[in-house]
Amino acid sequence: MKVNPRVKVVKQLIALFAKGRSLSELAENIQNEDQAPLIQAMCYGVARYYIQLDFAAKQLLSKPMKEKDQDIYLLILIGLFQMMYMRVPDHAAISETVDAVKAFKKPWAKGLVNAILRNFQRKKETLLKTIEQNEQAKFSYPVWIIDKVKKAYPNTWEQILHAGNEQAPMTLRVNQSSVTTKDYLKLLNEVKITGNESSLVESAIILEQAVPVTKLPKFKEGFCSVQDAAAQLAAGFLKVEPGMRVLDACAAPGGKTSHLLESVNAIQLTAIDNVASRVEKIHENLNRLHLKASVKCADVLDSDAWWDGELFDRILLDAPCSASGVIRRHPDIKHLRLETDIEALVKLQSAMLGKLWGLLKPGGLLLYATCSIFPEENNEQIAKFIKKHSEAKEVNLMIKEEKTSFIGAQLLPGELNSDGFYYLLLQKKA
């Protein structure tokens, strides 16, 4: 007997909200499910709009639900999400959600779920207006994120928050050492997959609709990888040449590592990450793409444990960060990241920059990257670093039409159909 997919969605969401597990980690557990795309769409959708859905549910409930009935409360939110954001007729959304109640062995809840969803159906117009009048419910972000984005981007904050709520496209990185982007587009067309070249970077194709990687032509042979266009800028910015010693710090899952090797294979590349399961992902990526690097499971700050004493020509520091630029792709960041995390992240980024700068040859280049849009992790972080290091010189990077006024280059979520990313290239004066 088929299990109602909403039951599986509840279990995934409990793992997110109660146990702090990420949606991308949970998505791996449902890859082989019959209705995996539907389950994933509902999981990501409820996570994306949780604050808004929670606000709506509380307007409809006469009293708060008990902690032990979180499963039923999440079912109500799933029902509301379908009625607000999915192309599911209201009657079907209501009946399917009510039907899912029986899996939780709480027969009393059937009537409650039915009543709440039907009440929403009746009051939908009024409730949507009430949501519009409440800033947190309207944008569906924690207050601290709204406040930080407002402060950093006073003229465009609403646009940035809206962009973070859009579903990100599936973007491919074409392995230029195997096939050109134009030729790979032809291979996609042959199997009826439609995509367009990115205006941001030559190697990127943005698909009109996401597909399982198993459907991508010659994926197993390494013709392409899945990677956002903004993340693909790193390899070009680092200006790697054959024979160079290159370090990719914080390298997992290996997207930028493999892109560097696809661009210039004849380099000595060391890739480091401090989590064994994530290091395994680097190996998987390199093996599929038939690439070789020295991969180490180690703490970047403990260089005695992994460094051989010879300085590097190029260093990529894709620093641990708030991930505030990739919320559209990982909506669980709204729930897993806390405001108090930022200060610790800024300290860690600063420590990593200082440590790695000491491993760079005079004349060498260090590329600092984050998928954040918060200034304290980006241009403010770098301004402090340059103040301390007179031998550090910024190398201008052009992402958009013109050089930005602050240090480095910042892409915002949705700009040029990419994620939010920050890049800064430093040269160590000889």
Cα separation, 340 vs 262, whole angstroms: 38
371 in active site:
yes
Q: Nearest to residue 176, comparing CAs of 278, 291, 267?
A: 291
Contacts made by residues 10-18, CB under 8 angstroms, sequence distance 24+: 10/71, 10/74, 10/75, 10/78, 10/100, 10/104, 12/39, 12/43, 13/43, 13/46, 13/47, 13/74, 14/70, 14/71, 14/74, 16/43, 16/47, 16/332, 16/335, 16/336, 17/70, 17/74, 17/335, 18/70
Cα separation, 376 vs 359, whole angstroms: 24
Question: 123 and 83 in contact (C-beta within 8 Å)?
Answer: no
For 359, the token pair is: 């491993």
Task: Tell me the CA distances in angstroms from 272 to 102, 249, 256, 268, 283, one per residue in order.
Answer: 48, 5, 12, 13, 11
Amino acid (one-letter) located at 331? P
Question: 290 and 309 in contact (C-beta within 8 Å)?
Answer: no
Cis peptide before 107 (omega within 30 of 0): no
For 264, the token pair is: 């210039």
Cα separation, 322 vs 234, whole angstroms: 19
Radius of gyration of the chain (CA): 23
Cα separation, 175 vs 258, whole angstroms: 9
Cα separation, 233 vs 306, whole angstroms: 27
Question: 351 and 249 in contact (C-beta within 8 Å)?
Answer: no
Q: Tell me the pairing of strands 294-297 and 268-273.
A: parallel
Q: State the catalytic residues.
A: 371
